[in-house]
Amino acid sequence: MMTGMALGGTWASSAQAQDFRSEYMVRLLTTSSSFRVRSQAALTLGEGEPSAEVIAALSGALTDRESAVRVAAASSLRALGDPAALPALRAASDSGDFVFSRARREAIRTLERAAPEAAPARAAAPVPTGPARFYVGLGDPQSSADGVNAELLGAVREVLLERLQSVDGVVMAPEGESSDAATRVTRRRRLTGYFVGSSVTSVGERDGGIRADVSVILYSYPGRAIRAMLRGGATVMGARGPDAVDQAVRGAVRGAMRSIDQVMIASTGPRG
C-alpha cells in the first residue's frame, strides 16, 4: 500500500509538472518579444500533450510575424497530431514563405491522415451571401518592387481574401486545387470561375509620404484567360517606416478591389 501511494504521488507530481511546463511555454509563445524564445516555446510544446490550450496557442502562432515561429508552430501541430488544428492550418497564409508553406502542407497531410473524415473540409469556404454565382481561386501575391517581404505580401493576400469574401455569391476555391477539380465544381454547380492574381508594383517615398501601387488581374478559372486588370494606389502622408508601408499597401489593394463585384459581373462570359 505504501508503495502504491508513493507511486501515485510521483505520478501526480509528474503530471502537475507537465501541466506547469505547458502553461509556461504557452505563456512564452504568446507574450515573449523575442522570436527565438517564441520559436523554442513552440517546438517544446510539440513534445508534450495536445491540450486545447496548447493547440490554440500553436494555431495562433501560425500567423506570427516571424517565419521561424510559424514553421515551429506548424511542425509542432504536426507532431501533436490533433485534427482540431486543421482549420487554423488551412486558413494560414503562406505569404511567399516557402519553408512555412512546406511545413504547413506536411502538417495538413499528417492531420488529415489522422482524421480522414475531416479531409473534405479542406474545400470548405465561407457561406456566400445570396445564391452562389462565382467560384474564385486566389493566387499568392507577387511583387516587382524592392523591399517587399513575405509579411507585406501576406497583408496583400489578407485584404484580397477579405474583399472577395464580402462579394455576394462568391465561393472561394481551396488552395492548390487542380484544374480538373475546379472544372468539376464550376460545371456541377453552374458557377462562373475566376482566379485572382496580384502584384505590388511599387513602394517608396513620394509626395511627402509612403506611396504604394498594386495591380490585380482577374482571370477565368481554371483556364486563366485574362478578363480584367485593376490598379490601385494609396499614399500615407507624413509617415515613414514599416507601419506606413503596410498601410499604403493595404490601401492600394482596397482601391484596386473597390469595384471587383461589378467587374466580375461584367466579365462573365464563356468559362475558360
Query: DSSP of 91-130, one letter per residue?
Result: H---TT-HHHHHHHHHHHHHHHHH-GGGGGGGG--PPPSS
Give the chain's count of helices (H) and strands (E). Answer: 10, 6
pLDDT higher than 70, residue 13: no
pLDDT higher than 70, residue 100: yes
- CA dist 65 and 50 (Å) reads 24
Report pLDDT for 42. 92
- Determine which of 40-44, 114-118, 150-154 has the lowest per-residue pLDDT on average: 114-118
Report pLDDT for 119. 40
pLDDT higher than 80, residue 43: yes
- Determine which of 86-95, 118-127, 176-185, 201-210 has the lowest per-residue pLDDT on average: 118-127
Q: Cell for 53? A: 490550450
Round the average pLDDT of the chain to a whole number and report it: 82
Mean pLDDT throughout 140-160?
88
The radius of gyration of the chain's CA atoms, rounded to the nearest angstrom, is 22
Name the CA dihedral angle for 21, 22, 27, 32, rounded to a multiple of 10 degrees: 80
Could you read off the pLDDT of 182-213 as tens digits, one per residue?
899 899 989 999 999 999 999 988 777 889 99
Domains of the chain (ranges; CATH) run: 12-122 (1.25.10.10), 134-267 (3.40.50.10610)
The band of 8, judged by pLDDT with boundaries at 50, 70 and 90, is: very low
Q: Answer yes or no: are the C-beta atoms of 126 and 96 closer than 8 Å.
A: no
Q: 5-25 burial, b for 16+ CB within 10 Å, e for fewer?
A: eeeeeeeeeeeeeeeeebeeb
Neighbours of 256 (CB within 10 A): 24
